Structures are given as structure tokens and as C-alpha cells.
Amino acid sequence: MAVPSAFLPGRSILHRLDPRAKLILLVAVAACFFLPGPRWIAPAYTVFLALLVGLCLGFRELGMVLAAVVPVLAVICVLTPVFRRGGDTLVALFDVRLLTTDGLAEVLRLVSRFTGLTLAFYAVFRTLDMNEMVISLRWFGLPYRAALVLTIAFRFIPTLFGVYQSSREAHLLRMSQGRRRGFFGRTMPVLTSVVIHAVRQIPSLAMALEIRGFGRLSPRTSFRSLPSGRRLVAALALTGGLCALLIAPFVLAL
Amino acid sequence: MSSGDRTQPSSLRVAAIGVITALVVVIGYVRVPLPATQGIFTLADIAIYFAAFALGPWTAAIAGGLGTGVIDLIGGTAQYAPTSLLVHGLQGLLAGLIASIGRGSRPPVVSWIFAGICGTIVMAGGYLAAETLLYGGFAKAVTEVVFNLAQSIVGALGGGLLAVAVRRAYPPIERLRW
């Protein structure tokens, strides 16, 4: 089992955009899919996001993310008209209204929203390193302890994956000559080993944190930092402009 | 340091929550294939219920919410991360609070069963509400309720067994409860 990671290295516009700007824009784009407005906006934003992902990450990546949501979209397309039967009939079979104008509008709305949100989150988290995300959240005001918890978690994920794989192989060797066991019979002993290994690390980690000064009152330093000064001002100005552009159609429609 | 001691150093709590969050992510990546439906379901709930039964409600709430949120962020379903953070956090908190009732030297089976039931209702109900309001509508949300219920029930059973096994193998784990 390979250690998963969302980050895909690259040099596209999305990769180079300041991580704080990306998070602000993500919230703005997500909010746009829930604001009341003209019906064309959500599909238009979805198409724009699809092009953005295709151009910045590659159309193969775009294909992968769309393929992953196709089953969900199929369920939405099939089941939503059953619950929305208002408006004019578009498709009927033996006097049973299968698809109406309201049903079709609702399907388009939900499909656009689900696909758009998926693409927006994908675009951000595929181009955002987890360490930069934690530092960005600190900049937004996340308390130091919460950021430390996330940093510890990201640090231990690969270690515990390694322990899981080693434990699994060891247990498979031990069980290879006994009676065959089901999935849970094989997995629970492995999980027990991994959990015990993880829990044993906690007191040593706590001691290491205290040796490094955790809990002291003096101001903390940080090994990594994000750009500041003109680059930050430019990124925030660009973000403000893009947010205004995103919200403009809704304001004009009022 | 006694079990559930309120004077536990904060470094121990930060370390415990960080490590258990990583554990939720790793166990969440162990997936059970479901050939009949070509779906999968994850064992993350086993880790959440283990944390609730063995380490207390607050570790379960924070590690459960953060861990499942991270699984969504790194697994390609980042749009569900805020929902997972909230729903699994509440699941861990409620299960941990109920499981703490009647805590003694033996596993309190009745309170653990009740904790599993309440956690399952919160988890399935939370995802049903979120899916209906935010993502794909009621029709899609209803199709996933059965999977969510099954995932949580398996999680509660597995989490209970894991808690008993780990407490037997590593008794000092009691000192990490809060």
C-alpha cells in the first residue's frame, strides 16, 4: 500500500499562486455554488474549473477526477427527477412522467454543483503542499497547538504506514501455515500491532516536545515561512479582484 | 500520573492527538472491497471508536474529525473534508462521552454498545444531512445511508475489540485518557 499524497509537483499558475490566496479563493468559489442567481453561472464556473484543472494539471488528471465522480453523477441524474416532478413534461412513458423541466433544472444544478466543488477542491489540494497548508492556516489564525497536531500527524503518517506494511507481512508469514482466515481475522492482529506501536510513541514524543520548549511563554519561531511584503500584497490584491469577478454576476442579477 | 488525570501535561495531549490522527488516516486507508457493488468501505471508524473507548472523548473527537478530513484531502475527495471533520468529530465525541459512563476495570460492554449505536446514528444522519443540503441532493444521500450505517457498526465492533486487545497488551494506555 503506497503512502498517499494529494500534492502533485509542478510549475503551473496554480502551483505558483500563494497558498493563502488559494484557500481564500476556494471558499469564494465554493460559496458561489450555493448563492441564488442565474442558472447559467454554476455550469459556467464548472466548465471554467475543468479548463483550469486541465491546463494546469493536465487533461489526464482532469479525466481521472471526472471518471471518479461519474458514478455519483449517474445516481443524481437517475434519482433526482423522481423527486422533482413539477413543470412541463419532457419525457413520459405510459402516462408516467419520467422527466420534467423542474427535474432537469434540478439535475443540472446538482451536477454542476457537485462537479464544480470537486474540481475546485481538487485544483487547490493537488497544488498545495500540506506543510504550506498548515503554515497558511497559522497565518489565518489557527492556534499553534492545533498546527502542531497537524504537523505531528503528517509526520507520523508515513511511519505508521511502514509499520502497517511490516506488521502485515509478518502476520501473513505467521498465518501462512495455519487455517485460512477471513479479511477481519487477518486484519485485526495487524491493526493491534500498529496501534500498540503508535501508542508507545506518545510519551517519548511528549518528552521531545517539552525538551524543545513546548509550553514556554516566550514567542515561538518557525522553521518555514511563507512570502511576505510585495509578493503577499500582490497575491491578496489578485485574490480580491478574482473574488469580485466571481460574485459580480450574482450582484448584477439582483 | 493517574488515568484521566486533569493535570496531564498539554505536551502529552498534543502528542496523543497528533499520533492518533495519523493512526486514523493509516487505518482509514485499509479498505474492504465490496465486489457486489464495486464499492469500498474504510476502516477509519474502527480507529475512531478505539480512540473513544480507550483514550476518551476529546482525543476521539479531535483525532477522528481531523483524521477523516485528512483522508479526504489526500484521497481526492477533498470536497467532503469539512463534512467529515464535523460528522466524525461529533461521532467520536458522543461515543467517547457515552463510553466513559461506567468505566471500570472491565470493558463496560453496555455503555460501549450504546456508544456505538449513538455514534452510528450521528455519523449516518450527519452525512445524510450534509449530502442532501450541500452535495448531491436527497436521492443520492439516501443511497449511501446503508453503507454509512454498515461502516459505523463494523467500526464500533472492531474498535471495541481493538480497545480490549490493546488495553490487555499495553496497560499504560489508561494514562493517556482525557
Q: What is the mean pLDDT of chain B?
A: 85
Nearest to B139 among A4, A80, A148 (CB): A80
Quick check: B81 and A210 CB within 8 A?
Answer: no
Quick check: B73 and A200 CB within 8 A?
Answer: no
Q: Is residue B4 part of a domain?
A: no
Q: What is the DSSP letter of A91?
A: E
Show residues of chain B in contact with A187, CB under 8 Å. Answer: 30, 43
Q: Is residue B28 part of a domain?
A: yes
Q: Is residue B154 part of a domain?
A: yes
pLDDT of B33: 61
For residues A161 and A179, give the distance between their C-alpha atoms in angstroms, rounded to a whole number. Answer: 27
Q: Is residue B102 part of a domain?
A: yes
Contacts of A116 (CB under 8 A, 6+ apart): A29, A33, A42, A45, A46, A49
Range of the domain at B22: 10-176
Tens digits of residue pLDDT in A82-132: 877 778 888 777 777 778 888 888 888 889 988 999 899 989 988 988 888
Q: Which of A17-31, A49-63, A211-225, A237-251 has the lowest mean pLDDT?
A: A211-225
CA distances in angstroms from A189 to A156, A162, A198, B25, listed in the order given: 21, 16, 14, 18
Q: In 3-state terms, what secondary structure has residue B39?
A: strand
- pTM of the predicted model as reported, rounded to 2 decimal places: 0.83
Question: Residue B137: which CATH number?
Answer: 1.10.1760.20
Q: Is the pLDDT of residue A158 over 80?
A: yes
Quick check: B21 and A210 CB within 8 A?
Answer: no
Q: Is A201 on the interface with B (CB under 8 A)?
A: yes
Show residues of chain A in contact with B47, CB under 8 Å. Answer: 195
Query: Per the structure block, which three cell numbers stand in for B125?
Result: 444522519
The four Cα atoms A115, A110, B120, B18 give a dihedral, to 10 degrees, of 30
Q: Where does the pLDDT of residue A9 fall: very low under 50, low under 70, confident under 90, or very high at 90 and above?
A: confident
User: Which one of B7, B14, B21 makes the best mutation probe of the A interface by having the most chain A beta carbons within 10 Å?
Assistant: B14
DSSP β-bridge partners for residue B21: none
pLDDT of A77: 86
Distance of CA A21 to the CA centre of its chain: 16
Nearest to B76 among A122, A152, A155 (CB): A122
Q: Which of A74-83, A240-249, B107-116, B119-128 has the lowest mean pLDDT?
A: A74-83
Region B9-21 average pLDDT? 91
DSSP β-bridge partners for residue B39: B34
Q: Is A6 on the interface with B (CB under 8 A)?
A: yes
Q: Is A149 on the interface with B (CB under 8 A)?
A: yes
Q: How many beta-carbon contacts under 8 Å exist across A and B?
A: 178
Q: What is the DSSP letter of B175?
A: G
Place of cell 471495541: B160
Q: Is residue B135 part of a domain?
A: yes
CA distances in angstroms from B121 to B4, B39, B41, B145, B161, listed in the order given: 27, 22, 17, 10, 20
- The listed range with the strongest mean pLDDT (A231-240, B46-55, B66-75, B124-133) is B46-55
pLDDT of B27: 93
pLDDT of B135: 67
Q: Is residue B1 part of a domain?
A: no
Q: Is residue B3 part of a domain?
A: no
Q: Is B164 on the interface with A (CB under 8 A)?
A: no
Is the distance from CB of A213 to CB of B10 less than 8 angstroms? no
Domains in chain B: how many in total? 1
Tens digits of residue pLDDT in A37-84: 888 889 999 999 999 999 999 999 899 888 888 888 888 888 888 877
A234 CA: distance to closest CA in chain B (Å): 27
pLDDT of B75: 77
Tell which wins on pLDDT, A15 or A177: A15
pLDDT of A48: 94
Consecutive H or E run containing A92: strand A89-93
As a whole number of Å, the CA-based R_g of chain B is 16
pLDDT of B3: 44
Show residues of chain A in contact with B79, CB under 8 Å. Answer: 114, 117-118, 120-121
Nearest to B25 among A34, A76, A153 (CB): A153
What percent of chain A is modeled with pLDDT above 70?
93
Which amino acid, B108? Answer: P
Tens digits of residue pLDDT in B39-72: 457 889 999 999 999 999 999 999 999 999 988 8
Region B113-123 average pLDDT? 94
Q: Is the pLDDT of residue B11 over 60?
A: yes
Tens digits of residue pLDDT in B89-106: 999 999 999 998 866 656
Query: Per the structure block, which three cell numbers stand in for A234?
Result: 500582490
pLDDT of A94: 79
Is the distance from CB of B48 to CB of B64 less than 8 angstroms? yes
Q: Where does the pLDDT of residue A222 fall: very low under 50, low under 70, confident under 90, or very high at 90 and above?
A: confident
Q: Is A26 on the interface with B (CB under 8 A)?
A: no
Q: Dihedrals φ, ψ of B32, to 5°?
A: -95, 115
pLDDT of B175: 87
Q: Is the pLDDT of residue A1 over 60?
A: no
Q: Nearest-CA neighbor of B31 among B77, B100, B93? A: B77
For residues A223 and A134, give the distance between their C-alpha atoms in angstroms, rounded to a whole number. Answer: 13
Show residues of chain A in contact with B176, CB under 8 Å. Answer: 199, 202
Q: Where does the pLDDT of residue B1 fall: very low under 50, low under 70, confident under 90, or very high at 90 and above?
A: very low
pLDDT of B105: 54
Q: Is the pLDDT of residue B117 over 90?
A: yes
